[in-house]
């Protein structure tokens, strides 16, 4: 495996954290196609998969951002269709959730952290859920290796350029990707006594989860 070149660093918290606005401004100055949003005091950068490796390399090597650590890499599946949650909106006063998607997506989320400046932010790369493909960032951060295998295992995302993209937590011969919302819950037939198959209980109905 080729070792990515990382500039020599001084270790420890040496500088003050950049405000989220400054991070967003610095990134969008170099990557005009990146959109940003802030919620719950957290910054998210939305990037197209083809710009992902360039963006992460920039964040790692940039003097100002200096995000030497890829803290986390995970996925979330947002299937196509209308999703409206208005349950209990009258009692809690929280806005209802209303999202409609023509194309289901899998969002691959990267948490980048700076050890010298003590700031962190999230990078989100969305890919269609029918043939999810995202370039591998193992060449930028070696720690992405296990994480990407996990996201492949759970969501079926093909990380292009990954040195060894195989299942990591599920058995090697498993069929399907269990964290996708279209994965049937209770879909594994279990033969009970006298070869009886008992359907999964109502609570495991997928519509309960995504409806």
Partner 1 sequence: MAIDPGTDAELSDDALELFVEGADWESVVDAVEDDHITVNMGPQHPSTHGVLRMVLDLDGETVTRLTPIIGYLHTGIEKNAEVRTWVQGTTFFTRMDYLAPLFNETAFCLGVEKLLGIEVPERAQAVRVILMEFNRIASHLVWLATGGMELGSTTMMVFGFREREHVLDLFESQSGLRMNHAYIRPGGLAQDVTDDFVERCEALLELLPRKIAEYEDLLKRNPIWNDRLRGIGPLDADTATRYGVTGPLLRAAGVPFDLRKAQPYSGYEQYEFDVPTETAADSYARFLLRIEEMRQSMRIIRQALDTLPGGPVMVADKHIAWPSQQSLGVDGIGNDPEYIRHIMGESMEALINHFKLTTQGFTVPAGQVYVPVESPRGELGYAITSIGTNKPYRVHVREPSFVNLQAADVMARGQMVADVVVVVASLDPVMGGVDR
Binding site for partner 1 (CB under 8 A): 4, 6, 8-9, 11-13, 39-40, 42, 44, 68-72, 74-77, 83, 85, 87-88, 91-92, 94-97, 99, 109, 111, 115, 118, 120, 122, 141-143, 145-147, 163-164, 166-172, 178-179, 185, 203-204, 208-209
Question: Would you say 26 or 83 has its CB closer to partner 1?
Answer: 83
* Least distance CB 72 / partner 1 (angstroms): 4
- Kindly tell me which of 27 and 165 has the beta carbon lying closer to partner 1: 165
Q: How far is the CB of 195 from partner 1 (least distance, A)?
A: 26
Q: Whose Cβ is closer to partner 1: residue 26's or residue 122's?
A: 122
Tell me how far apart the alpha carbons of residues 87 and 106 are, in angstroms, rounded to a whole number: 25
Indicate the residue among 43 and 55 with the shorter CB distance to partner 1: 43
Q: How far is the CB of 111 from partner 1 (least distance, A)?
A: 6
CB 194 to partner 1: min, Å? 28
Smallest distance, partner 1 to C-beta of residue 120, A: 8
Contacts of 189 (CB under 8 A, 6+ apart): 197
Least distance CB 19 / partner 1 (angstroms): 15
Which residue number, 127 or 145, has a Cβ lying nearer to partner 1? 145
Nearer to partner 1, 50 or 188 (CB): 188
* DSSP for the chain, written as a single string: -PPPP------S--SPPPPHHHHHHHHHHH-TT-EEEEETTEEEEEE-GGGHHHHHHHHHH-TTT---EEEEEEEEEE-SEEEEE-TTHHHH-PPPEEEEESS-EEEEEEEEE-TTT--EEEEEEEEESSS-EEE--TTT-TTHHHHHHHHHHHH--EEET-TT---SSS-TT--S-TTSTTSPTT-S--B-GGG-B-PPPGGG-HHHHH-
């Amino acid at each position: 495996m080729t070792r990515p070149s990382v500039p020599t660093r001084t270790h420890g918290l040496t500088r003050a954290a950049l405000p989220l606005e400054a991070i967003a401004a610095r990134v969008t100055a170099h990557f005009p196609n990146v959109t940003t949003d802030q919620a719950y005091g957290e910054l998210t950068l939305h990037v197209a998969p083809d710009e992902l490796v360039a963006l992460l390399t920039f964040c790692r090597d940039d003097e100002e951002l200096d995000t030497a650590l890829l803290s986390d890499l995970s996925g979330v599946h947002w299937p196509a269709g209308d999703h409206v949650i208005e349950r209990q909106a009258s009692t809690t006063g929280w806005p209802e959730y209303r999202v409609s998607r023509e194309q289901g997506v899998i969002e691959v989320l990267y948490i980048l952290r700076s050890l010298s400046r003590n700031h962190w932010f999230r990078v989100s790369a969305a890919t269609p859920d029918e043939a999810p493909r995202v370039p591998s960032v193992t060449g930028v951060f070696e720690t992405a290796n296990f994480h990407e295998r996990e996201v492949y295992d759970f969501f079926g995302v093909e990380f292009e350029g990954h040195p060894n993209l195989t299942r990591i937590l599920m058995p090697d011969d498993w069929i399907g990707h269990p964290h996708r919302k279209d994965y049937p819950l209770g879909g594994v037939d279990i033969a009970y006594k006298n070869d009886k198959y008992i359907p999964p209980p109502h609570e495991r109905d997928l519509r309960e989860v995504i409806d």
